[in-house]
Amino acid sequence: DAGITQSPRYKITETGRQVTLMCHQTWSHSYMFWYRQDLGHGLRLIYYSAAADITDKGEVPDGYVVSRSKTENFPLTLESATRSQTSVYFCASSEGRARETQYFGPGTRLLVL
């Protein structure tokens, strides 16, 4: 039972480069979420998706793009990476009914030089 996985686990890139972080879940959950976690800010929602082809902005969406062509995948793209996007990124999913718990992946540590 793989659950929710993220790749890569670690990534170093340079400013201006495009980076895609992958998220895959095996539960067929309807909802998927992307968060970033920074010291002093806690976990902040970047984007979320209620179903395939349905996405919406969270608290900090600027500089990020998402897509969801399949229920199980929810990639996050940094179109032109900036140093301020150095962070730990977590993907989560939930079944989608009322009051449903979100389950988190292991995270991707991204360093933008």
Partner 1 sequence: EDQVTQSPEALRLQEGESSSLNCSYTVSGLRGLFWYRQDPGKGPEFLFTLYSAGEEKEKERLKATLTKKESFLHITAPKPEDSATYLCAVQAWAAGNKLTFGGGTRVLVKP
Residues near partner 1, by CB under 8 A: 31, 33, 40-45, 48, 50, 58, 90, 92, 94, 96, 98-107
- Closest approach, Cβ 69 to partner 1, in A, equals 20
Whichever of 16 and 51 has its CB closer to partner 1, that residue is 51
- Closest approach, Cβ 7 to partner 1, in A, equals 14
DSSP annotation of 83 reads G
Whichever of 17 and 57 has its CB closer to partner 1, that residue is 57
DSSP for 2-71, please give it: --EEEE-SEEEE-TT--EEEEEEESS--SEEEEEEEETTTEEEEEEEEEETTEEEE-S--TTEEE--SST
Whichever of 17 and 50 has its CB closer to partner 1, that residue is 50
- The neighbouring-strand residues paired with 33 are 48, 92
- Closest approach, Cβ 42 to partner 1, in A, equals 4
What is the identity of the amino acid at 109? Answer: R
